[in-house]
């Protein structure tokens, strides 16, 4: 079967990462206060973005083979 699961997983986390990063950058400071003063949206958004990116990269490499 020719459908690499890493593609949707990667895409989904890139989308989530972008959304969270954007909320982290442009959201109100109250949001940061709720998560104990840490901008969790920004940090966790970046982590998800990185994870999604790696998954997409692996999917692309798998396709070349």
> What is the x/- site pattern for other proteins, positions 1-20, by CB under 8 A?
x-x-x--xx-xxx-xx--xx
Q: Is 27 or 53 the residue whose CB approaches other proteins more closely? A: 27
**Residue 41 beta carbon to other proteins: minimum distance, rounded to whole angstroms:** 4
Q: Which of 44, 46, 53, 59 binds other proteins (CB under 8 A)?
A: 44
Signed CA dihedral, 7, 12, 13, 18: sign only: positive
Query: DSSP labels for 8-44?
Result: HHHHHHHHHHHHHHHHHHHS-HHHHHHTTTS-HHHHH
Helix (H) or strand (E) run with residue 4 in it: none
Q: Is 15 or 64 the residue whose CB approaches other proteins more closely? A: 15
């Amino acid at each position: 079967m020719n459908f690499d699961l890493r593609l949707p997983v990667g895409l989904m986390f890139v989308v989530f990462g972008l959304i969270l990063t954007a909320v982290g950058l442009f959201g109100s400071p109250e949001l940061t206060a709720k998560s104990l003063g840490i901008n969790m949206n920004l940090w966790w958004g970046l982590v998800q973005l990185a994870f999604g990116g790696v998954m997409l990269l692996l999917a692309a490499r798998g396709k070349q083979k």
